[in-house]
Structure 1
């Protein structure tokens, strides 16, 4: 399939999900620095455990500066509900140290005035921060035209055949972004709808293919039909 075909298919499934879920306005969930640190905590853990870890951390230390200065063992204990707290605690301390040292304050609102490329580069240079974290922050909080690819977006995109089976989530950021208009509202809705669809319909196990509005466009569904016409979906 050519790039043009892939772009057309990507836009088509995006429109179908727009109809399914409705157009959403861009909204930041949290204050930008809160969003950044919460996203670091969220890696490979549940939202509930992320929220508990963040709340416990703030209750115990009270400020970004106190978290920066906390002994790493104490910070690790405070965020223990998040998976891999022994990895995340040093990252959080290093991130806060760098931001405060460079900016003189625990604040990253300056990213709003940077170009998308410069803001991405600045964030990706922080310890423990990669494309998923950077794009989530820049799209949700600053309405930059970037596309976050989490596990749900990645899985749905692969099953549809928008990206190849060996394409990593990191590489998928650029591939999928190239297929879509460089408009923050479009990209926000693409991300949200693919995220919801992966949670509710195109689940990791037992995808609900018969009720999926994308099944006629889906390589996975068509392939499963060819391999086993007697397969039972739930």
Structure 2
């Protein structure tokens, strides 16, 4: 009897290699330090990257360092991040996050997480109130170079259409399931290319199946293109 995990692993990697051939290979490079990435990712929750970037840029222009968050009024913080939406909730979440990190480490440097294994590091971040697996995985993958696969709406949709995830699997549970199917040094590339593919070709509505580099092997092509 064939090992299902090996079959899934081969399938996921086959899809990834086809996307790399089509879009090009992806090299990892850090976007922000881990604490900045965490704050930025909180701001992106339930809004567009454009709105989050506007709020983030205004915020960092108004403080000298993240420690200053604990010194300004919550009303001022809400005003600074207004463009990100849900500013009441996000302001509290940002303050709680900064306080949590500082109380644990006596500073705001999250690089100590690299000493943990992946699931321990993710759990540590998820112990912060309001931080879920996607936000934690973004920080680990984008800032610390750890082999996490953040599952956003595009990764989730494309993975389900390719049968890498069962229809009943939640987005929160999808992170570890996908990581188990992709070798560690290709997980960042998997995340980035699945997002790119989801945005440009495998769209939520009217996917462009006729130009899809996975068209010959996609198990959903007949259904999606009908």
Same fold, TM-score > 0.5, yes or no: yes
Once the two structures are overlaid, the 10-residue window that deviates more, 23-32 or 89-98, is 23-32
2:162 counterpart residue number: 160
Once the two structures are overlaid, the 10-residue window that deviates more, 69-78 or 20-29, is 69-78
- SS class of match (1:81): helix
Which among 5, 10, 13 is matched to residue 12 of structure 2?
10
Residue 4 (structure 1) shift:
4.2
How has the CA–CA distance of structure 1 residues 152 and 224 changed in structure 2, closer, same or farther, with 3 Å as cutoff? closer
1:119 counterpart residue number: 121
Give the distance between the partners of 1:67 and 1:119, measured in 2 at CA.
24
Residue 107 (structure 1) shift:
1.7
Which among 19, 23, 30 is matched to residue 21 of structure 1?
23
After the TM superposition, which residues 165-204 of structure 1 pair with which residues of structure 2 at under 5 Å, given as runs?
165-181=167-183, 183=184, 185-204=185-204
1:99 counterpart residue number: 101
Counterpart contact for 1:68–1:92, Cα < 8 Å? no
Structure 2 residue 87 is matched with structure 1 residue 82 = no
Once the two structures are overlaid, the 10-residue window that deviates more, 54-63 or 95-104, is 54-63
1:221 counterpart residue number: 221
Query: What's the TM-score once normalised by structure 2's chain length?
Result: 0.92
How has the CA–CA distance of structure 1 residues 224 and 196 changed in structure 2, closer, same or farther, with 3 Å as cutoff? closer
Tell me the C-alpha RMSD between the 2 structures. Answer: 1.8
For residues 143-200 of structure 1, the C-alpha deviation after alignment (integer angstroms, 9 at most, x for no partner) is: 222211111111111112211222211111111111122x2x3001111110110111
* Unaligned runs of at least 5 residues, structure 1: 229-234
Query: What's the TM-score once normalised by structure 1's chain length?
Result: 0.89
Counterpart contact for 2:55–2:82, Cα < 8 Å? yes
Once the two structures are overlaid, the 10-residue window that deviates more, 25-34 or 68-77, is 68-77
Counterpart contact for 1:68–1:94, Cα < 8 Å? no
Higher relative contact order (CA 8 A, sep 6+): 2
State how many pairs are aligned. 224
Give the distance between the partners of 1:204 and 1:157, measured in 2 at CA.
12
